[in-house]
Amino acid sequence: MDTRLLLISNSTNAGEEYLAYPMGEIGKFLRGVKAVRFIPYAAVTFSYDEYEAKVQRRFDGLGIKVESLHRFTDPKGAVQSAEALVVGGGNTWCLLRKMQEFGLLPVVRARVAAGMPYVGWSAGSNVACPTIKTTNDMPIVEPSGFEAFGLVPFQINPHYLDANPAGHAGETREDRIREFMVENPSVWVVGLREGTMLRKEGSDLQLIGGCPARIFRQGEPPREVNPGDDLRFLF
């Protein structure tokens, strides 16, 4: 599948402005694009209008217009006519449920398969996977199922953390992923640390950023992969 994907772990690094670190890669990925359709449905504690305006302020520097789906009476038609699609972060459960309500899953799959560029960060990277089962988000709403876009055959855990804070007696992020693997033994999971992203161009998959990703699969020891490593084994 000659898909074009930019799957970003997080929108903002600590101490930086919103979308500061990924903007260079977003600009290169969307070179030549004049307008993007934006899916804001992961927003919970702020409005879709506010979300659109926040992203537009950053995309102004790229000369790209941001058009949020909540402004369209026909969201499916808006995706079908999009130059490129951007899916923002927030709560993955809210994002998926709203997209299910509007019937967007098959439309997005078809457009991305036909070559439409897709950019997602955090929740927007989660929904590019076969399911949302490796999200970190609290399930504050109940979608009709866990199935997502399936633009890649592996799962992503955005904001992946190695830390096990002193005095913390609960599960670590790796513990949670190991639980997932017991029930889904054939599925690869990419622990995508903050400040990193995956870029897919056709059959080429690259890790971009300043640190490695951690790769999991049932029956195999976790492995670290670095920017520049061959990631085709994930397919």
Per-residue pLDDT of 28-76, as tens digits, reads: 999 999 999 999 999 999 999 999 999 999 999 999 999 999 999 999 9
Number of folded domains that form the chain: 1
Residue 105 CB coordination number (10 Å): 17
Query: pLDDT confidence of 165, banded at 50, 70, 90?
Result: low
- The model scores a pTM over 0.75: yes
At residue 139, the 3 state secondary structure works out as coil
Using the predicted structure, report yes or no on whether residue 1 has a pLDDT greater than 60. no
| Rounded average pLDDT over 128-136 | 98
User: What are phi and psi for residue 204, nearest 5 degrees?
Assistant: -95, 130
Active centre residues (catalytic): 122, 137, 159
- Mean pLDDT value across the chain: 96
How does residue 2 score in pLDDT terms, banded at 50, 70 and 90? confident
- Distance between CA atoms of residues 63 and 34, nearest Å: 7
What is the CATH number for 118? Answer: 3.40.50.880
Query: Containing domain of residue 134, as a range?
Result: 4-234
User: Which residues are CB-neighbours of 194 under 8 A, at least 6 positions away?
Assistant: 9, 10, 13, 159, 160
pLDDT digits (tens, 9 = 90+) for 101-131: 999 999 999 999 999 999 999 999 999 999 9
The band of 79, judged by pLDDT with boundaries at 50, 70 and 90, is very high
Chain centre to alpha carbon of residue 141: 19
DSSP bridge pairs for 86:
38, 119
